[in-house]
Amino acid sequence: MLHKLNFWKNRKPNSSEQVYTIDTIKKNPIPEHIAIIMDGNGRWAQKRALPRIAGHHEGTKVVRKITKLANSLGVKVLTLYAFSTENWKRPKSEVDYLMKLPEEFLQTFLPELIKENVQVRVMGMKDSLPEHTFRAVQNAINKTSDNDGMILNFALNYGSRNEIVQAVNSIIADQKSGILKEEEVTEDIFSTYLMTQELSDPDLLIRTSGVVRLSNFMLWQLSYAEFWFTETLWPDFSEQHFLEAIDEFQKRARRFGGV
Ligand code: FPP
């Protein structure tokens, strides 16, 4: 009952009062790959006179909720922007907390992810993560590597420009060593050098908190994605918002540059 009350209290409809259900959403094509910029944790906390990290803690619960829902809808890949290469500029105490979040999340949620056949992946500069963060995510990657269900892809210490420059450097190195011929660089080959590697490009990008920008997130991969923005802060983001975003996606005509 309490859960139900909170659900309605937290619900902030984006554009309509319509209630979406999994069954009706499933009647139309579900985006294969959904990417989310989870924004607004700090403001959520500040509005409640709480420290910013309380917002990140609350945001982790939403990650769990939305992962479960995406999996049950049959989404193939869910990419979540958890920490950008620019986020190191935040106060040390906040960065330290953000680097503990994967452990906190995986400590309680990993058994559920394993059971639900989810594969955990991480894209970003893993080598410069603190040892404890790296260990936690690597453990989750290993323990879910035999799963073949939804890919839960955390963008952690990720920046798209950095990713593209790294790809270019790897291509140059492979050309020098003869692994790759100069004339072989096509869009498809280039894509395999990105951190998303064999993953399909996102079909739908969601950003919360009323901010309307990409913030160095998947610049190449989002070329043809549908964008959906909401004023709702990430800790208030509900299952209804997620279904509403997919409903809007299903109504859009994707032309990929055609007519
Ligand atoms: C942006 O909000 C959010 C982040 C930088 C962190 C996002 C991380 C989570 C939601 C939790 C991740 C969970 C796992 C399992 C790794 P902000 O702090 O910039 O908000 P503001 O714009 O209101 O300040």
How confident is the prediction along the chain (259 residues), in pLDDT tens digits per residue?
334 434 434 445 555 579 999 999 999 999 999 999 999 999 999 999 999 999 999 999 999 999 999 999 999 999 999 999 999 999 999 999 999 999 999 999 999 999 999 999 999 999 999 999 999 999 999 999 999 999 999 999 999 999 999 999 999 999 999 999 988 899 999 999 999 998 999 999 999 999 999 999 999 999 999 999 999 999 999 999 999 999 999 999 777 778 7
Q: Check pocket membership of 59 for ligand 1, CB cut-off 6 A.
A: yes
204: enclosing H helix or E strand? strand 204-207
pLDDT of residue 17: 77
The answer to whether the CB of 124 is under 6 A from ligand 1 is: no
Name residues whose C-beta falls within 8 Å of residue 194's C-beta, 6 or more positions apart in sequence. 163, 164, 167, 220, 221
Q: What is the pLDDT of residue 14?
A: 54
Cα radius of gyration rounded to whole Å, the chain: 19
> If you measure from the C-alpha of residue 234 to the centroid of ligand 1, how many angstroms do you get, rounded to a whole number?
8
Residue 258's pLDDT is 81
Q: How far is the CA of 142 from the centre of ligand 1 (A)?
A: 25
Closest residue by Cα to atom 6, ligand 1, is 82
Q: Is 40 in the pocket of ligand 1 (CB under 6 A)?
A: yes
Helices 92-115 and 131-143 meet at what angle, rounded to 10? 10
Position 259 scores a pLDDT of: 74
CB neighbours (10 Å) of residue 86? 11
Task: Check if 43 has its Cβ closer than 6 Å to any atom of ligand 1.
Answer: yes
Q: Given this model, what pLDDT does residue 257 score?
A: 79
Just list the catalytic residues.
39, 87
- For position 6, what pLDDT does the model report? 44
C-alpha–C-alpha distance, residues 124 and 79, integer Å: 12
Distance CA 186, CA 202 (A): 20
Ligand 1 close to Cβ of residue 102 (< 6 A): yes
Q: What is the dihedral of CA 115, 116, 118, 120, to 10 degrees?
A: -50
At 15 the pLDDT is: 53
Alpha carbon separation from 201 to 72, 192, 221, 251 (Å, rounded): 20, 12, 5, 19
Looking at domain 29-160+202-250, its CATH architecture is 3-Layer(aba) Sandwich (3.40)
Report the Cα 92 to chain-centroid distance in Å: 23
Q: Ligand 1 centroid vs 55 CA: distance in angstroms?
A: 8
